Structure 1
Amino acid sequence: MQPNRRFHWGDKDALLTFVAEVSFAHLFAMTPDGPRVAHAPLVVTRAGNLRFHLARANALTAHLDGAAMVASIAGPEAYISPDWYGSADQVPTWNYQTVEAEGRVARLSDDDLVALLDDLSAAHEARLLPKKPWTRAKMTPGRFEAMLPAIVGFELTVETLRGTDKMGQNKTAAEMLGAVAGLEESGQTVVADLMRRHAEAKA
């Protein structure tokens, strides 16, 4: 994570909310063939752990049960031009939010895998425009059960949660607002809004 303490993000509830909102991670673990990474959607449990599923044929799947793993969840990010600050001797940088979750992985039972898939689809169907949400009940009978053996579910018990919220907190409020204007002009409105909140808190 970013070592500058000004960008440290340590609010556990906020970090887990961020993970649930992004709901997609890069998953890193060691295998006998060396380090490997997989990419998967996530569900945050009530206990603050992360559930996910991988294809049975994924290079990580056979090695995850009981293994140590790091999940990296990346959020909004944008390039920051030095010109935007309106002051001399600045350099280019990148502003971003990200969270890392580290811990041990355990394989889910078949029943828990089904629950994970239901939870995952329900969470994302709820984000769509008002409509009757998709559920597996819409599938041809037996089709879901026939597809299920192709994937394996896991739960990462989170032992360490690390966050970076790098939004220019090392700059003055005026410099930050200059960057906000540049971001808005270039269409990076999400990062602009996040950076504005920090600037207003500093002003």
Structure 2
Amino acid sequence: MRHNPIFEQGDPAEIRRLIRENPRATLISHTESGLVASHYPVLLDEEADETDGIVLVSHVGRPDEALHELGRHELLVIIQGPHGYISPGWYDAAPAVPTWNFVAAHLNGTPELLSDEENLRVLDRLVDHFEERMPEPRRLSGTEANAAYAARIAAGTVGFRLRVNRLTAKSKLSQNKPAETVARILGELEGDGPYASPGLAAEMRRVHGVDR
């Protein structure tokens, strides 16, 4: 992403929050055959030492590990948070161009392939992470029968851990606009128009310190 100090996000806590709240990621590898992209959920490795920085865990389904040449070179993980169109009609009468507000992070590192046992633990965590919101969560390895099934399913996946060694994050949320313009944008995003986006509005309120 283009460097822009106004929108740069360098707070590790905010980047971790972005990942927790937006776990579906785009994985991009530059392989001998060219660029390869896949889409998988990722989790923060909450057990990692703080000195390790940001560490991700996830998996890919076979044969994506071969397509990505996983573990042989750097992997780019893109996290996309709330985003949306911002009309110049939400500003004032002065000439203006439309834009797109967004929150995103690009995280780079060379993935470490996990053992079968570690991979199964990561798969358990992934399922638990999303199922915990359900009224009757379905666990991957909750029973003996489930555990046997999980072991068979896990064999079709390859787990990895990625210690992020380089990252770029940006929160482009109208920080360069005056307070009255920000208020109008929030009104539109929280309204019922074609570009309403409550999630994007919530991110803007966080950045601008504006309560509802």
TM-score (norm 2): 0.86
Quickly say closer, same or farther: Cα 1:137–1:16, change in 2 above 3 A.
same
For 2:164, what is the secondary structure of its paired residue?
strand
- After superposition, where does 1:145-156 map in structure 2 within 5 Å? 145-156=151-162
Higher helix content, 1 or 2: 1
The Cα shift of 1:116 comes to 0.3
- Structure 2 counterpart of 1:134: 139
Give the superposition deviation at 1:183. Answer: 1.5
Letter in 2 for 1:10: G
Taking the aligned partners of 1:60 and 1:171, their CA distance within structure 2 comes to: 46
> Hey, which bits of structure 1, 4+ residues long, moved more than 6 A?
none
Match of 1:168 in 2: 174
Residues 139-197 of structure 1, C-alpha deviation per residue, up to 9 Å, x if partnerless?
A: 55632222222111111111122211111001111111111112222231111222234
1:142/1:195 CA distance change after superposition, 3 Å:
closer
Q: Are the counterparts in 1 of residues 111 and 163 from structure 2 also a CA contact under 8 Å? A: yes
What's 2:51 paired with? none
1:15, 1:163 within 8 Å by CA — same for their partners in 2? Answer: yes
Provide the C-alpha distance between the structure 2 equivalents of 1:59 and 1:140, rounded to a whole number of angstroms.
Answer: 25
Contact 1:29 1:60 in 2 (8 A): no
Q: Distance in 1 between matches of 2:65 and 2:120?
A: 22
Q: Does 1:183 align with 2:189?
A: yes
Contact 2:140–2:147 (8 Å) recurs in 1: no
Say whether the 8 Å CA contact 1:40–1:54 is kept in structure 2: yes
- Once residues 147 and 111 of structure 2 are traced to their aligned partners in structure 1, the CA distance between those partners, rounded to angstroms, is 32
Corresponding position of 1:20: 20
- Verify the 8 A CA contact 1:54 1:152 in the aligned structure 2: yes
Q: 1:184 to 1:65 in 2, by over 3 A?
A: same
| TM-score, with structure 1 as normaliser | 0.90
Per the alignment, in what secondary structure is the counterpart of residue 63 of structure 1?
coil
TM superposition shift of 1:80: 0.3
Secondary structure at 1:5 match in 2:
coil
Partner of 1:76: 82
Paired positions, count: 200
More strand by proportion, 1 or 2? 1
> Residues 22, 87 of structure 1: CA spacing in aligned structure 2 closer, same or farther, 3 A cutoff?
same
* 2:30 corresponds to: 30
Q: What is the CA–CA distance in structure 2 between the aligned matches of 1:76 and 1:140, rounded to whole Å?
A: 35
Distance in 2, matches of 1:112 and 1:181, equals 47
Deviates more, 1:51-60 or 1:82-91: 51-60
Query: Which residue identity is paired with 1:193?
Result: A
CA drift of 1:135 comes to 3.4
Determine what percentage of the aligned residue pairs are the same residue. Answer: 29
* Conservation of the 8 A alpha-carbon contact between 1:66 and 1:106: no
CA apart distance, 1:52: 1.1
Aligned-partner Cα distance in 1 for 2:154–2:207: 45
